[in-house]
Each structure stands twice: as structure tokens, then as C-alpha cells.
Amino acid sequence: MMKKVGSFEAKTHLAEYLRDVEQNEETIVIQRYGKDVAVLLPCSVVEENQKKKKAAEVLGAFEQIRKEEASCGRNKDVREMVESGRKG
């Protein structure tokens, strides 16, 4: 569930909102003049997003290597690249 609160309310009730985020994994959007400016969310969400981003970077690197290998006439799949990396 996502709750939206104004900046004054967020300042006034910060401890309560932090408790909601921590215990209920609630996401709270803080607004200024009706415009979204910040988000309070559980650290677990941030950590999961970082893991997904890192995995996407690794997969992108493998894809780049595969393209470079293919342009040189050497087609390898991911397993072959991993195995060759272990050997060499």
C-alpha cells in the first residue's frame, strides 16, 4: 500500500511513518505542494532493486561478450564462456 503525505505531516509524524515502513513494509510518498518529491520505503526493497540491477549489468556484459565473440566468428553460449573463464 502506498500512502501520500505532505512534507509538514511527514515531519510531524516521521517516527510513526518509519514504524509503518519498518513493520508493515509500507511505502510512503512525501509531497511538497502536491508534487511527489521523496519516498520512504523499506531497505529490503532497495536491496532487492540493487540485486536486480547488478544481475542486469552482468547479463548485459555477457551479451556484449557474446556479440564480440560472434563478430570474430566464435559463437559461444553463456555456459561455454563461464567454463572458459574458469580455465583461463
Q: Tell me the per-residue pLDDT of 6-58, one tens digit each, with 9 for 90 and over.
A: 999 999 999 999 999 999 889 999 999 999 999 999 988 888 888 898 988 88
Phi/psi at 38 (5° precision): -155, 160
**Closest C-alpha among 23, 28, 24 to residue 38:** 28
CA distance 51 to 69: 27
Residue-level pLDDT at 64:
85
CB 28 within 8 A of CB 20: yes
pTM above 0.95, yes or no: no
Q: Tell me what pLDDT residue 75 has.
A: 63
Q: How far apart are CA 71 and CA 1, in angstroms?
A: 48
Within 13 Å and on the Cβ side, how many CA atoms surround 42? 13
